[in-house]
Amino acid sequence: MTAEPILTISGLNVDYGTGPTGVHALRDVDLTLHRGEVLGLAGESGSGKSTLAYAVTRLLSPPGVITGGDVHYHRPGAGPVDILSLSPDALRAFRWQELSIVFQGAMNSLNPVHTVHSQLTDVLKAHRPAMRSAERTARAEELLTLVGISRDRLTAYPHQLSGGMRQRVMIAMALALEPEIVIMDEPTTALDVVMQRQILRQLVRLREQLSFSVVFITHDISLLIEFSDRIAIMYGGRIVEQAGASEIYRDPRHPYSEGLLHSFPALHGPRRELTGIPGTPPHLSAMPAGCAFHPRCGKAHDPCADQIPVLARPEAGQDREVACWLHTRPA
Amino acid sequence: MTTEQSAAAHTGTDVVLEARGVTKHFPVRRTGGDVLARRRRTVHAVDDVSLKLRRGTVTALVGESGSGKSTVARLLARLYPLTAGEIQLGGEAVGAGRGRSFRTYVKQVQLIFQDPFASLNPVHTVRYHLTRALKIHGRAGDGDADLQKSLAALLERVQLTPPHQFLDKFPHELSGGQRQRVAIARALGADPQVLLADEPVSMLDVSIRLGVLNLLRDLKERLHLAILYITHDIASARYFADTTLVMYAGRIVEGGDSETVTQHPAHPYTQLLIASAPDPDRVADEEAQEEAGSGEPPSLITPPDGCRFHPRCPKAMERCRTEPPPRFDLADGQWAACWLYDGAEGQEAGK
């Protein structure tokens, strides 16, 4: 893995609504995606993980507003592109071509009254106007084969496909223009485990072939540990810990990461009593002061209730960051 | 106390609810072509399912979506009439009647649904939901003081304390976990012997799922309930259930002690399910599982002949295509409906 960044997010803030009723969905999010890497983004509902995906792709619709921060895309061999200030035309060219997104509900992302063929070629039609119809069809067939669907399904309508196949079509569409970055927002949550594994395995294979980078968003941290290179864990709109997948698994530093890991019963090894995390995730409109996790945290101490911990390296020289007063001293 | 000890100490042997050869076929709406061809199609949602729920034990029913596991719960709750088979409560067959016999049945067998956002009425308070359950099942007592006491006891039982903080809340004021606890309290309002929990935690946030599962286990131990835990997550079945049944395409394919089923799965489908489950401990044996099988569950309108898993099964034999396999008993009370275990030939193949 090279350490060359391809997407850098710094100090990103997103609010839903403005004025006194507005809530902060994302606060000071710093995140870097490196070339060829699978970055896992884990968190519970309301932690801001999907908001992050929407903000980065500028798909955030009102009342969501980006109130601060930068998102830069580093095109190979060219200067950084500021995504947040792209003109509508440039943005349209940027999407799908450089960055694509696979949404959570494959069932709802495909248009039910159009065939797979017309939806796949639509992307090509918009971005490659010079392509001829026969070429587009050939490319669509190639894409379907790539994700493991036989090419005769090209004429099928979405309702004629199973959930797993629909999700594969969405992945094929995301890969149509061979983008550098693919953002996947809970791509397999609606699928069964067997199908989930098949699709993930395929994704790993495709990534080796086409070498794109992936931001993989899910609430299932045990899946991420197996599948991603690096994991960022979100809670209450902030990133609370960021480290390599195996480091998170073997040695979680943030009490929330630890609790999350202990919320999934293991399939192997000794059976042990698990407790989950007491309490419930905070609501965006009533975010606790200080560290958002402190009311649920068993290790909360003095500074936690009123000082917000900063994301920092727990020990110098380590390639991981954690936002917790257990590991950093308040200033 | 470890899980094993508690399970051993409380495992009763008396069967409360039993299903024998329960079958449910749903008719498919006929199209013009069906009428012309004089064809009546049915969805074979559940075929020949037999299971026993014992007092003080949790039985998990694991399967993918569309395997018929929720239909089994609804059949056991008598929300649907059976196509064939029999349900016995406390050793006595129950009829198909509605009316009074249905209400006595429901008093014993309560169902908890997957989605606590949908199963509670948004315009009523927690107090209303619980009072209604108590009144319907004749447990409200005499006068208001009794009722208040019962309401408080119910909420305490599901660890919503102090009760007065929750009684007058509306569902939208509660979190998902709290709502599911209210739904459980409502089911307990009938003082049932059996709880049918249909994916009780899959709609909840991951960090609070275990809290609800631990609550259900605590209830099982204290109230000696028989619980049917329906789930797609086989790891949670290992954690929470005493026995596990695996369902595929409308049939139960394997059953036994949860630990045995998850550690030594016998049926190729169970093996596939376990190989597919996310597991951080698994390192780089990806290639090894490639052969575990692929494909998708079959259409239940025209299920495959013989074993329903044979089109996906890497170990399918000629016989699997024609004859549906019966149960074969293995060691430690485990059984599998798979021809691999028929007599001596199976001893080797299972390894």
* Nearest-angstrom CA–CA distance, A268 and B263: 7
**Residue A193 to residue B64, Cβ atoms within 8 A:** yes
Residue A161 inside a domain? The answer is: yes
Q: Which are the contacts of A97, defined by CB distance < 8 A and separation ≥ 6?
A: A127, A177, A179
| Level-2 CATH architecture, domain B3-28+41-123+193-207+223-277+289-349 | 3-Layer(aba) Sandwich (3.40)
* Nearest-angstrom CA–CA distance, A85 and A83: 5
User: Do residues A172 and A269 both lie within one domain?
Assistant: no
Tell me how many domains chain A contains.
2
pLDDT at B152: 92
pLDDT in tens, B45-96: 999 999 999 999 999 999 888 888 889 999 999 988 899 999 999 888 887 7
Residue numbers of the domain that contains A141: 110-178
pLDDT at A2: 52
pTM, 2 dp: 0.84
* Nearest-angstrom CA–CA distance, B180 and B256: 28
pLDDT at B350: 44
Average pLDDT, chain A: 86
Mean pLDDT of B197-223: 89
pLDDT at B7: 42
pLDDT at A278: 84
Q: Is residue B22 very low, low, confident or very high in pLDDT (cuts 50, 70, 90)? A: very high
CA distance A257 to chain B (A): 10
Q: What is the DSSP string of B276-287?
A: HS--TT--S-HH
User: Do residues A139 and A152 both lie within one domain?
Assistant: yes
> Is pLDDT above 80 for B208?
yes
Residue A313 inside a domain? The answer is: no
* Sequence-ordered strand ranges (E) for chain A: 5-16, 23-34, 38-42, 64-74, 80-82, 99-102, 181-185, 213-218, 230-235, 238-244, 321-322
Whether A164 and chain B come into contact, CB under 8 Å, resolves to: yes
Mean pLDDT of A263-290: 82
- For β-strands A38-42 and A213-218, DSSP reports them as parallel
Whether B231 and chain A come into contact, CB under 8 Å, resolves to: no
User: Do residues A215 and A243 both lie within one domain?
Assistant: yes
| Unique residue bearing structure tokens 């012997």 | B193
Q: In one letter, which amino acid is A105?
A: G
pLDDT at B25: 92
List of chain A residues whose C-beta atoms are within 8 Å of the C-beta of residue B203: none
For A125-134, B201-210, B235-244, which range has the lowest pLDDT when averaged over its residues? B201-210
Domain of A200, CATH number, reads: 3.40.50.300
Q: Considering chain A, what percentage of its residues have pLDDT values greater than 70?
A: 98
Closest partner residue to B280 (CB to CB) among A192, A249, A280 is A249
* Nearest-angstrom CA–CA distance, B72 and B197: 11
Which range scores top for mean pLDDT: A143-157, A315-329, B148-162? Answer: B148-162
CA distance B2 to chain A (A): 7
**Residue A44 to residue B286, Cβ atoms within 8 A:** no
Mean pLDDT of A214-224: 88
Whether A135 contacts A121, CB under 8 Å: no
Provide the ipTM: 0.79
